Amino acid sequence: MKHIVVLTGAGMSAESGIKTFRDADGLWEGHDVMEVATPEGFKRNPELVLNFYNARRKQLNEVEPNQAHKDLARLENNYKVSIITQNVDDLHERAGSSNVIHLHGELRKIRSTKNENDIKVWTEDIHLGDTCEKGHQLRPHIVWFGEAVPMIDKAVEICQQADILVIIGTSMQVYPAAGLLDFAPTQTPIYYIDPKPAMDKNGKVHIIAESATEGVKTLLHLLENATQN
């Protein structure tokens, strides 16, 4: 069974109604990302940051996986599929994908401010004064700008095993995620799905200049034809 590795970014969830900071002049839901997505921002105004992610968590309850999420989940019928996502939503899981790595954390999880390994599932709001068992303030389990990406080594290992690499809805400009495609084996074909692709087509890279839902549909046809031939 061939191993398909899928790298997904903000464009994957956009058609579900989840906005991204890059959509509006660097603002994320009206906030400067440096205010709400950095350790310094949290230190300056923890209440603002907690409220921001509380709102994002509520927004997540109001959206559903789109057809692209569902089609990727269906790929597991015929392939081994690993999804490495920069998104903090759980739409891949809700669509049925069983092997998902979150590079930048997860909205539905929290962790202790003093122990990054003390992680728990959390679906409610987080308030100032909510603490872990050892009395330390809880924070969103989100990898903020300037923080280490704990899952990057695992992601590199998965990319090294890819028979087919698919990139969906990401500019591939945010590191370390952007460097992952360099770890795919030399002979591995790459399919890049994005309405405004930031890569050029070459012998190895196949560009599908479409939205996630249309592009994944096109990908499924290409894979089906390749299998039949």
Catalytic residue annotation: 104
**136, 117 in Cβ contact below 8 A?**
no
Nearest CA among 99, 214, 210 for reference residue 158: 99
**207, 197 in Cβ contact below 8 A?**
yes
**79, 1 in Cβ contact below 8 A?**
yes
Query: What is the token pair recorded at 104?
Result: 């930048």
Q: Tell me how far apart the alpha carbons of residues 160 and 1 are, in angstroms, rounded to a whole number.
A: 16
* φ/ψ (deg, to 5) at 6: -115, 125
Query: What is the token pair recorded at 141?
Result: 């389990």
